[in-house]
Structure 1
């Protein structure tokens, strides 16, 4: 039983696998030891909506703790999602469905992107926010994509 609990705790400590691609980064605070604090820009495609790519910018903590993956990243993030091709739904969409999630501390804090479908306006809405096991953050950002016909290429 103890071994199972220990293995469960170890699995919680591992970073979540995410399908985000780093586009670039800038340093914000110089650190003498370990990586600098920085802002990272990442891109990921919506797994259930072909033709949509989201760009997420967020703070990453540097220093010794940040370099070892032990630091807690800040809750601030910005998101911009864009139609990059014809939009096709690969599966049925559920409001508030998670499309991206990444751990921003060793165990308790995550940054998430969820999707909503505004049927009345035929628009996809993406919300990024950070949460913790005990207490989340009200800081968030939102972006919307009206579903438009994609021009055919010659």
Structure 2
């Protein structure tokens, strides 16, 4: 059943994939609410590697709704999440990178809702700022999380 749920979730996420973005890696999960039918509600931790900035990995914790509707892929996950991005090696600013760019996008419901991670460059402080938000066709959510990764100083 987990295989069917995973395949359904992957199929629903395809329209939201960003070209060039690597697939996320599930790091772990913790059950939060027991469900009699279907999987439990849980908090999931996933890692996304920035596709345009080598050595930057972002960790997203998010709610994953279980139960029967979650099992069949029809549940809408709450817009509550956390984000932490870290340098996993030397970080250099790639040339020609946009100042503001959507880096990752993942479906949070069967229709019309997605979590989006946006990279913003703070050139003055030489920092990459990552912001996660929830978007819907009509409106988004005020819930958000932000983190920053310093860019290594250029060689002299």
The normalised TM-score by structure 1 is 0.84
Partner of 1:109: 113
Distance in 1 between residues matched to 2:150 and 2:86, nearest whole Å: 9
Runs of 4+ in structure 1 off by over 3 angstroms are 88-91
Partner of 2:140: 136
| Offset at residue 96 of structure 1 (A) | 2.6
Distance in 1 between residues matched to 2:118 and 2:130, nearest whole Å: 6
Partner of 1:8: none
Deviation per residue, 1:115-144 (Å, 9 max, x gap): 001000000000001010011101100000
Unaligned runs of 5+ in 1: 1-12, 150-154
Q: As a proportion of its length, which structure holds more strand? A: 1
Distance in 1 between residues matched to 2:102 and 2:93, nearest whole Å: 15
Unaligned runs of 5+ in 2: 1-10
The normalised TM-score by structure 2 is 0.83
**Radius of gyration: which is bigger?**
1
> Cα RMSD over matched residues?
1.5
Q: 1:89 to 1:37 in 2, by over 3 A?
A: same
